């Protein structure tokens, strides 16, 4: 920056992805009220990723006015994903699941020029690895049956 210190750079990421999964389910263990499942598979879809870099304004002379737009990255395209999940499903109480997924995106940059990369031509590869988990709380919405039958006799 102007004072001789390293510039502070913050990055903000946002985007979306839309996927279709095909999963294979194996029952590991099962009884009347609960079961353990192993699910794995793959999918494909579309993604859009936007990374914006924010600098301390008025401290870095290069990053003023028209140059601010050159320091972000936007890409989108087709993607593939692999997923594995272990689930404990219980019919009477709380169920749990944990898993992992690996994402690969094969797209192109949606900006014609980026300061860090230069000219954005060709295929851009994005990737991520994630762990996930969750709790499933059962809600029984069953109507109690009335065992008495009403008859109308005239």
DSSP state of 53: E
Per-residue pLDDT band at 121 (split at 50, 70, 90): low
Question: Which segment, 7-11, 47-51, 63-67, 94-98, is predicted with the most confidence on average?
Answer: 94-98
Indicate whether 38 pLDDT > 90: yes
**What per-residue confidence (pLDDT) applies to 6?**
75
Q: At residue 139, what are phi and psi to the nearest 5 degrees?
A: -125, 110
pTM, two decimals, is 0.62
Residues 17-24 have a mean pLDDT of: 91
Beta strands of 1-154 (E only): which ranges? 9-30, 34-55, 72-90, 95-109, 113-114, 118-119, 123-136
How do residues 50-87 score in pLDDT, each as one tens digit?
877 777 666 666 666 666 556 677 888 999 999 999 99
Residue 146 neighbours by CB under 8 Å, 6+ apart: none
Indicate whether 96 pLDDT > 60: yes
């Amino acid at each position: 920056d102007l004072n001789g210190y390293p510039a502070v750079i913050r990055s903000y990421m946002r985007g979306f992805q839309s996927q279709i999964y095909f999963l294979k389910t194996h029952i590991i263990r099962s009884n009347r009220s609960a079961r353990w499942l192993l699910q794995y598979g793959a999918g494909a879809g579309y993604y859009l990723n936007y990374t914006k870099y924010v600098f301390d304004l008025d401290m870095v002379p290069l990053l003023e006015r028209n140059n601010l737009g050159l320091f972000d990255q936007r890409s989108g395209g087709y993607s593939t994903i692999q997923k594995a999940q272990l689930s404990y499903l219980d019919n009477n109480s709380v169920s749990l699941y944990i898993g992992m997924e690996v994402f690969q995106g094969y797209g192109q940059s949606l900006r014609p020029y980026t300061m860090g990369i230069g000219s954005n031509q060709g295929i851009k590869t994005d990737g991520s690895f994630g762990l996930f988990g969750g709790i499933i709380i059962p809600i029984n919405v069953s109507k109690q049956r009335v065992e008495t039958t009403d008859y109308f006799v005239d």
